Amino acid sequence: MSRPVQRFDGQIAIVTGAASGIGNQIALDLAARGARVFGVDVQAEPLYEVPGITALPCDLADAEAYRALLTGIENDCGRVDVLANVAGIDEPLSAVGANTAFYRRILEVNFFAAVTGTLTVLPGMTGRRRGCILNCSSDSVHSPIAHESAYVASKGALSAFTESVALEVRSLNVHVHILYPGFVESPLGTRSLERGMKRPPRAIVRTTEQVSASALDGLGGRAIEINAAKAAALTPLLRILAPPLYRWIMAGRSMPM
């Protein structure tokens, strides 16, 4: 017997990275499930004519602008019920000769923007004793590859931050989740393949529809981690049980420069 689809009727939902990929699918599905959706993206033009979604342009690297946007929505609507921090950027680099400015740019969007969003809406959610936050990480934090140190570091930090906050506020009936989507041929994933990255095993490949369904059905549940591709979550076992095999496999999956 299939599990009933979770509804979000009348809820105020905000999704970053909503113009494409996983963020776009989550925004569309939240609207289809009854939520009033605000779609945030640095390039929000594709959302302007989408029914059920209010498009809001914002550069998430600008923490003050993102904080003001969230505060404005909360003031206008009286609350924020769901915040999905999905936006992310990636660019391979060699750590040899790299500078910290590159790392800061990746971290501003992938980590600090999600931190800003989480900290901005948490007081209202804990005060009402109701709300859900979804932060999108990456399965690559379980199995980092070469030339992805900035991206993996940003997502690893986000995972640790999210889990700690989730444990802090769970007794207040606020649910904070970290999403591991598997590999998705979103614009981000497609660019990686175009650079020459080896296609991941079929067991960890997911569509945006599958990831969105896993995420939305998991919101408000007991699990902090939402694994859209459960096979990818088993990678740490290989690291523990067969370290040489794990290193050999991962060495062959380096991100081309």
- SS in 3 state form for 214-233? HHHHHCCCCCCEEECCHHHH
pLDDT digits (tens, 9 = 90+) for 76-122: 999 999 999 999 999 888 999 999 999 999 999 999 999 999 999 99
pLDDT for 192 equals 73
By CB atoms closer than 10 A (0-12, 13-18, 19+), residue 75 is exposed
pLDDT for 246 equals 64
Could you tell me the domains of the chain? 12-251 (3.40.50.720)
pLDDT digits (tens, 9 = 90+) for 199-215: 777 888 899 999 999 99
CB atoms closer than 10 angstroms to residue 1:
3
Higher pLDDT, 188 or 129: 129
Contact 7, 31 (CB under 8 A): no
pLDDT digits (tens, 9 = 90+) for 17-58: 999 999 999 999 999 999 999 999 999 999 999 999 999 999
Angle at 72 between CA 158 and CA 133, to 5 degrees: 30
When pLDDT is cut at 50, 70 and 90, the band that residue 7 belongs to is: very high
Torsion angle, CA of 189/195/196/200, rounded to 10 degrees?
Answer: -10
225 pLDDT higher than 70: yes
What's the whole-model pTM score? 0.91
pLDDT for 167 equals 98
1 pLDDT higher than 50: no
Average pLDDT over residues 67-82: 98
The residues carrying an active-site annotation are 151
- Percentage above 70 pLDDT, the chain: 94
As a whole number, the mean pLDDT across the chain is: 92
pLDDT digits (tens, 9 = 90+) for 149-170: 999 999 999 999 999 999 999 9
Q: Please report, in angstroms and rounded to a whole number, the separation of the first and last CA atoms in the chain.
A: 47
When pLDDT is cut at 50, 70 and 90, the band that residue 252 belongs to is: low
- SS in 3 state form for the chain? CCCCCCCCCCCEEEEECCCCHHHHHHHHHHHHCCCEEEEEECCCHHHCCCCCEEEEECCCCCHHHHHHHHHHHHHHHCCCCEEEECCCCCCCCCCCCCCHHHHHHHHHHHHHHHHHHHHHHHHHHHHHCCEEEEEECCHHHCCCCCCCHHHHHHHHHHHHHHHHHHHHHHHHCEEEEEEECCEECCHHHHHHHHCCCCCCCHHHEECHHHHHHHHHHHCCCCCCEEECCHHHHHHHHHHHHCHHHHHHHHHCCCCCC
When pLDDT is cut at 50, 70 and 90, the band that residue 189 belongs to is: confident
